[in-house]
Amino acid sequence: MKIIIASKNPVKIEAARKSFCMAYANDEIEVTAVDAPSLVSDQPMSTQETRDGAVNRVKYCQQNHEADYYVSYEGGVDILDDIPSTYAVVCIANAKKLQTGRTASLPLPTQIYQKLQIGEELGPAMDDMFNTVNVKQKGGAIGQLTNGLETRKSIYVSATLMTLSVFFHPELFV
């Protein structure tokens, strides 16, 4: 089974690989990473913009590559339940269906959210706060703020598996 992941970020590649290996344990899984434009801001600041970025990446991959499945992840920020939060939208498509899902959300410290409102990206803002380097290709803000109990990869895997549910039971999602 050939999977195209719309990113060269190692966290996203490994999350897709792990998810599909779990979901299709009897199949040989080949994951290919490609750069795919989101056509949205570097740091999406709304649920709609975040979803649009994930969908745009998958559609680009569908137009330019042949695969059984296409997967993208777009990290975003929004006010959820009155709290500045970060999350990611996962988008999965095959020849018949395109489906989006979302990770759990993580509350953001006010000082981080204020930096994002003036155009900074979450990864660099977290690096500044915690004196780390390139946290977005490691545990992410999630790893930092949960003391490593969850990571960017772990929540991406969970969201990917839940989003795949519509592909496991297509007759239920007409």
pLDDT of residue 132: 87
Task: Measure CA 14 to chain center.
Answer: 11
Of the candidates 61, 168, 76, which has an alpha carbon nearest to the alpha carbon of residue 116? Answer: 76
State the Cα–Cα distance between residues 94 and 106, nearest whole angstrom: 29
pLDDT of residue 174: 84
How much is the average pLDDT of 143-167? 94
Evaluated on CA atoms 110, 37, 20, 89, the torsion sign reads positive
pLDDT of residue 134: 81
Query: How far apart, in Å, are the Cα atoms of 54 and each of 109, 110, 151?
Result: 25, 26, 20
pTM greater than 0.85 (yes/no): yes
- Which amino acid does the sequence have at 66? E
Contact 42, 169 (CB under 8 A): no
Q: Give 60's contacts (C-beta < 8 A, 6+ positions apart).
A: 6, 36, 37
Question: pLDDT (tens digit, 9 = 90+) per residue, 23-75?
Answer: 999 999 999 999 999 999 999 999 999 999 999 999 999 999 999 999 999 99
pLDDT of residue 129: 86
Of the candidates 137, 136, 73, 63, which has an alpha carbon nearest to the alpha carbon of residue 103? Answer: 73
pLDDT of residue 144: 87
Question: pLDDT (tens digit, 9 = 90+) per residue, 7-17?
Answer: 999 999 999 99
Neighbour tally for 70: CB within 10 Å: 26
State the Cα–Cα distance between residues 97 and 108, nearest whole angstrom: 33
DSSP letter (8 states) at residue 27: S
Domains of the chain: residue spans and CATH: 2-106+150-172 (3.90.950.10)
